[in-house]
Amino acid sequence: IGTDIVHFLCVAVWMGGLLTIVLLGRKWQSESPKVIAWFSFNATIAMPIMVATGVAQAWRMMEGFQNLFSTTYGTVLSIKVVLVVMAIAAGTKARQIFKDKKVDSEDLKKIKFSKTIVVESVIGLVVLAVTAVLVSVPPLSVNTAAPFTATLVQSNVIADITITPARVGNSEMHIVFSPPGGTLESIESVTTRISLVSGEIPPIPIGLKRIGVNHFQANLQVPRGGEWLLELIVKPATNRTLRFSQIVKIKN
């Protein structure tokens, strides 16, 4: 969260100052050199921090960059990176022109500085538009999160568990019960819950639906990544209760 806040603050400094110069520059003709010098100083500090925090965000959300070119999120992110590099290049050129020319208020409209600032502003707005698209795309596609599978055994009853995908958000869980080498009478009832191992989130009950002989299905909603404890309370018969438990690693 701290990284996100710093990133957004740096974006606000960069785009806010940039648009202020473009939209109000003519009204501030007498003060323009001072305003531009102030913006140049702050942008020089904000831009590297913005890039660094952006890279950290992408690394965290994509769990590394190995899926950068194999997911929609990675493709959109790559476009954003190219645009940011172009904006940095335009900004660097504009500030270099301003520094070399040592312009005063009368010179601002006569040199390439103004055009370069406008170009940087347009690219910045496109970056914001691409960012709006980026936040609506899941960092990892469903296919990149492998399903979780486990086989548990208690008192000659086997529980085959599958969670697809094993990641934050909507997942589908299937549980199939069977004996080691024969047939099993219909399970009377199954109670299931999942809880974060760290204890930060209380146990979440899971509603199972019987879809076949000893085959149960549930739509799972996992709020965050980490290690979760999956617990099954199974009643194969009226006077018999079995408890299964398994650690499930959920990806962000």
- Count of CB atoms within 10 A of residue 203's CB? 13
For 6, counting Cβ atoms within 10 Å of its Cβ (0-12 exposed, 13-18 middle, 19+ buried), the class is middle
- pTM more than 0.75: no
Which residues, listed in sequence order, are joined to residue 152 by a DSSP beta bridge?
A: 159
In terms of pLDDT, which residue wins out, 72 or 174? 174
d(CA 151, CA 8): 45
pLDDT tier at 168, thresholds 50, 70, 90: confident
- List the Cα angle 59/61/67 in 5-degree steps: 70
CB of 177 within 8 A of CB of 158? Answer: yes
In terms of pLDDT, which residue wins out, 64 or 241? 241
pLDDT at 141 over 60: no
pLDDT of residue 17: 81
pLDDT at 142 over 50: no
What's the sign of the alpha-carbon dihedral 123, 124, 129, 135?
positive
pLDDT of residue 143: 46
pLDDT at 93 over 70: yes
Which residues, listed in sequence order, are joined to residue 195 by a DSSP beta bridge?
A: 229
Mean pLDDT of the chain: 81
Section 18-44 average pLDDT? 69
